[in-house]
Amino acid sequence: MNHGAGAAPELHHEERPELQPHFETPEQQFESGKFGMWVFLATEILLFGGLFCAYAVYRALHPEVFVYASLFLDRVLGGINTLVLICSSLTMALGVRAAQLGQRRLLIAMLSVTLLGGAGFLGIKYVEYEHKWKAGLLWGTQYRSQADGHALEHGEPGTHGTDAASHDGSAPPEPPAPAADPRAALPPAAAAALPPSVPIPEGRTFGDGENASLLPPAAIGPTGMRAPEPPPAAGEQLERRIRHEPRNVHLFFGIYFVMTGLHALHVIVGMALIGYVLFRSLRGDFGPRYFTPVDIVGLYWHLVDLIWIFLFPLLYLIE
C-alpha cells in the first residue's frame, strides 16, 4: 500500500494520508474506487444471472414442480426477511450519509444497526433451512418424497400462514359416531309400531327428533346419488395438494438452495465488510473528506438487497 513513499509526494498527499500515491487527487481516487466497485457489481449480477437463467429454463419446462415446491416455502418468513433487508439497506444509506456529513456517532450507530439486520436475516434463514432439512426438502438424492405427507406431521409446511395454522396441532374433527340402535332415533310411537324382529339397516333413518322416519323424504334424489360434498377445508385442500406430488421436485430445491445459499454467503461477506468499516469508523478514519470505503461497502450491501428483491417473488410467491 505504501510503495512509492520514497518519491517526492505532492503537498496534498501529505495533508491527506488516505490519498494513495498513484492518484493525483482525492476526487480521482474516489471515482476510481467507485468505478471499480461498479464493475465488480456487474460481475456479481452476471454470476446471479446465470442462476436466474437456470431457474427460468427449469420453470418453463416444469412449472408443476415449482408450483408444488412453493407449497413448502413460508412466504410470511420470506416477506419478513425482505423487510429486514430493506430496513438494513435504509440504515446503510443513512450511514453513508452520516459519513459524508462527518457525523461519526450516527455512522457508528447506523453501521451497527445494519449489522444487526444482516444477523436477523441469517437467523430467519436458518429457521427456514432447518425446517427444510428436517422435512427432507433438499437437493438431488437427498430429497425425500413428500407424498406420504410426513412434512405435515412435522408442522411443515409453514406455508401460506393461515393454512399452516389451521393444520398445526389440531387433529381433524372426528366423524360423528353412528347411533348404536337405529330405533333410538325414531319417535317412540314409530319405534313401538315396529316389531323388534324387523331389522333396520344402519343409516336408513331420515330426519331427526319428531320427524325421524324410515321413509326417505320425497325431495331426496334418486337412489345412488349423493348430496354434493362440501368443499374441503383449507388445511385438507393443502394436504391433498401435498400428497399429489409430481416427479423430480428435488430440482426446485437444488435451485432454491444454490440461489439462497449464494445469497446468504453474500450477506455473510457483506456483514464482514460492514464490521471492518465499523472498526475503522470507531477508529475515526472517516469524515466528509474521506468516506470511500463506507460508500463502497454500502453499494455491496444494496446489491445484496437488490438480488433478494428478485429472489423473493421468484422462489416464494409461485402460484
Partner 1 sequence: MSSEHSAAPAAPEVHVVPIRVLVGVWLALIVLTVLTVAASWVDFGHLVGEPWLNLVGALTIAVVKGSLVALYFMHLRYENPFHGFILVTALAFVGLLIGIAMIDVQATRPDLIPNYAPALETPASPTDLPPAP
Q: Which residue ranges make up the site for partner 1 (CB under 8 A)?
A: 26-27, 30-31, 34-35, 38-39, 41-43, 45-46, 49-50, 52-53, 56-58, 60-64, 75-76, 79, 82-83, 86-87, 89-90, 92-94, 97, 100-103, 160, 246-248, 251, 288-289, 298-299, 302-303, 305-306, 309-310, 312-314, 316-317, 319
Kindly state the smallest distance separating residue 238's Cβ from partner 1, in Å.
14
3-state secondary structure 39-96: HHHHHHHHHHHHHHHHHHHHHHHCHHHHHHHHHHCCHHHHHHHHHHHHHHHHHHHHHH
Taking the complex as a whole, the smallest distance from the CB of residue 47 to partner 1 amounts, in Å, to 10
Identify which of residues 41 and 122 has a Cβ nearer to partner 1 in the complex: 41
Query: In a 10 Å sphere around its CB, with 0-12 CB exposed, 13-18 middle and 19+ buried, how is residue 58 labelled?
Result: middle
Query: Measured between alpha carbons, how far is 173 from 11 in angstroms, rounded to an integer?
Result: 84
Nearest CA to 131 among 88, 164, 162? 164
Alpha-carbon distance 184 to 192, whole Å? 11
* Nearer CB in complex with partner 1: 183/308: 308
Please, are residues 172 and 234 in contact by the beta-carbon 8 Å criterion? no
Question: Strand (E) positions, the chain?
Answer: none
User: Of 44 and 236, which has the nearer Cβ to partner 1?
Assistant: 44
Measured from the CB atom, the residue of 185 and 286 that comes closer to partner 1 is 286
**H or E stretch covering 191:** helix 188-193
Tell me how far, at minimum, the Cβ of 18 lies from partner 1, in Å.
13
Q: Min. distance of Cβ 308 from partner 1 in angstroms? A: 10
Q: Nearest distance from residue 75's CB to partner 1, in Å?
A: 6
- Nearer to partner 1 by C-beta: 5 or 61? 61
Report CA-CA distances (Å) from 137 to 68, 82, 208, 255: 12, 22, 49, 12
Minimum CB–partner distance for residue 314 and partner 1 (Å): 8
What is the sign of the dihedral through the CA atoms of 159, 162, 165 and 171?
negative
* Cβ neighbours of residue 69 closer than 8 Å, sequence gap 6 or more: 137, 249, 252, 253, 256, 318
Cβ distance 75 to 314 under 8 Å?
no
- Looking at the Cβ atoms of 106 and 191, the one nearer to partner 1 is 106
Nearer to partner 1, 264 or 318 (CB): 318
Residue 290 β-bridge partners: 287
**In the complex, least distance from residue 82 CB atom to partner 1, rounded to whole angstroms:** 5
CB-wise, 67 or 214, nearer to partner 1?
67
Question: C-alpha angle with apex 273: 285 to 129, nearest 5 degrees?
Answer: 155
Q: Which is nearer to partner 1, 137 or 307 (CB)?
A: 307
Smallest separation, CB 19 to partner 1 (Å):
13
State the minimum distance, in angstroms, from the CB of residue 282 to partner 1. 21
Which residues, at least 6 apart from 127, have a Cβ–Cβ distance to it below 8 Å? Answer: 77
